[in-house]
Amino acid sequence: MADIRDDGLVVSLPGERFTPFTAAKKLGAVAILESASFKKGRERYSIIQLDEAFRIRQKAEGVFWELHGKESPWPDSSVRDILDVLAQIARQNQHTAPDLPVPGAGIGFLGYDFVRRCDKVHLAERPDPIAVPEAEFIVGHLYLIIDHYTDIMHLVGLNYAEHQIDLEKRIAEIRRRLDDLDFTYLEKATEPAPFEVVSDDSLEERTFKEGVRSIHDHIVAGDLLQAVLSRRLTGRSGLSALEGYRRLRSTSPSPYLFYIDFGIYQLLGASPESLIRLRNGIASIRPIAGTRRRGRTAEEDRKLEQELLADPKERAEHLMLVDLARNDLGRVCEYGSVQVEELMAVERYSHVMHIVSSVTGQLRGGL
């Protein structure tokens, strides 16, 4: 049964036969936001983007959009950055399926360097070795939203001022493809994943130690609280990005799995945490810091948990992140509304356990 809501179209279907990955592969998904731990009670939905409408990307020169392979500057020159553009796009379908997590502004990423557009942070100009935009989002016409609580799938169609399609016709096509789903092509791979390291940007020991000393000096001077000496590993594999994602979700099931196909490059990963969540005006951050491996037995698991919670270094790092979360929410929430809902609980995942807290606040009006 189709439910017409504003400019959108919503069709609900039984979903017992499908996993997010089987549906995504069969339908040629552009992006996948999947939860592999929805039994925890928080990660209820998985979201699959099926049809691309257009793209938005942030470059040093400004915001650009791409339609049918042609890129041009975003027509509204008053926007400051990609966040303003995404807000404009999201408002077009804000009343479509408000009870479902429909990504009306698309699915994409903000790069680390984008922070310079959000805060007074000076970043040295460096060459970009991978030539990826500061931020890029794919705005979609069709989304398949899987409710893991009810085993119901919702096909949600969205149109935009910038581009429209026949939503009813397209949804009918997708329903036919779901009815014809053949599971034989999803047989479990038995071959090991070939991977050849092309370059390893690991720092030499002397350079690494100098970096650690420099960071320590900056912390003592009050310039920063925490820093990471990062590295880039580049490799070559015969696997497709989607097959790499399938193997990742099998070996490391996580609350937040993602796959986005930008054409010339793909992003995929698995994470136990979300950066921030906003629901009904309540902003929440769940700091995660402090890690131990899972025990081989239940008794060893409990001992590792006790050791983790008693570790002064792990506790100090975690409490620092809780304070940072309180500070971040305090900048955008109503005065006095920020509170720590949960402090230093231990959550278990497939391979590790983490210390987790929950900080919430009421978002200020007008934001």
User: Are residues 204 and 166 part of one domain?
Assistant: no
- State the Cα–Cα distance between residues 225 and 286, nearest whole angstrom: 18
Q: Is residue 142 part of a domain?
A: yes
Task: Tell whether 212 and 78 lie within a shared domain.
Answer: no
Q: Which of 146, 168, 186 is the last residue of a domain?
A: 186
Q: Is 250 contained in some domain?
A: no
For the chain, list the strands marked E by DSSP.
2-5, 8-14, 31-34, 45-59, 62-67, 70-73, 107-110, 135-147, 152-157, 196-200, 233-236, 256-261, 266-271, 277-279, 282-285, 288-293, 339-348, 352-362
User: Same domain, yes or no, for 224 and 320?
Assistant: no
Grouping H, G, I as helix, E, B as strand and the rest as coil, residue 81 is coil
Number of domains observed in the structure of the chain? 3
pLDDT tens-digit map of 228-239: 888 788 888 888
CA-to-CA dists, residue 148 to 21, 75, 145, 286, angstroms = 13, 40, 10, 22
pTM for the model stands at 0.86
Whether residue 367 is contained in a domain is answered as: no
- CB atoms under 10 Å from CB of 64, counted, come to 18
Q: Are residues 182 and 228 in the same domain?
A: no
Contact assessment for residue 45 and residue 145, using Cβ atoms and an 8 Å cutoff: yes
Pair 124, 221 in one domain: no
Q: Are 28 and 145 in a shared domain? A: yes
Q: What does the pLDDT average to over 315-341?
A: 95
Q: Show which of 186, 221, 251 is a domain's final residue.
A: 186
Distance CA 223, CA 221 (A): 6
Residue 91 CA from chain centroid, whole number: 21
- Alpha carbon distance 255, 263 (integer Å): 25
Q: Are residues 108 and 11 in the same domain?
A: yes
| Best CA proximity match to 2, nearest among 107, 96, 139 | 96
Does residue 130 or residue 143 have the better pLDDT?
Answer: 143
Q: What is the pLDDT of residues 338-361, one digit of tens each?
A: 999 999 999 988 789 999 999 999
Same domain, 175 and 116: yes
CA 105 vs. chain centroid, Å, equals 14
At residue 1 the predicted structure's pLDDT band, cuts being 50, 70 and 90, is very low
Together in a domain, 173 and 29: yes
**What domain range includes position 346?**
277-362
Contact 193, 244 (CB under 8 A): yes
In-domain check, residue 258 = no
> Based on the domain organization, do 70 and 201 belong to the same domain?
no
What angle in degrees, to the nearest 10, is found between the helix axes of 298-310 and 312-330?
A: 70
Averaged pLDDT for residues 86-95: 90
- The angle subtended at Cα 268 by Cα 264 and Cα 270, nearest 5°, is 170
Last residue of a domain, one of 127, 160, 186: 186
Tell me, yes or no, whether 206 and 74 share the same domain: no
Is residue 262 a part of any domain in this protein? no
Are both 134 and 220 inside the same structural domain? no
* pLDDT score of 183 more than 60: no
| 270 inside domain | no
When pLDDT is cut at 50, 70 and 90, the band that residue 324 belongs to is very high
Task: Give pLDDT, residue 4.
Answer: 39
pLDDT of residue 19: 86
Nearest to 46 by CA among 245, 284, 183, 285: 245
Asked if the structure places residue 110 within a domain, the reply is yes
Whether 347 is in a domain gets the answer: yes
β-sheet bridge partners, residue 62? 59
**Closest to 136 (Cα-Cα) out of 277, 272, 278, 261:** 261
Mean pLDDT for the stretch of residues 94-105: 88
Task: Read off the pLDDT of residues 41-63 as tens digits, 9 standing for 90 and up.
Answer: 567 899 999 999 999 999 989 99
Band (pLDDT 50/70/90 cuts) for residue 191 is low
Nearest to 168 by CA among 26, 50, 10: 10
CATH of the domain at 159: 3.60.120.10
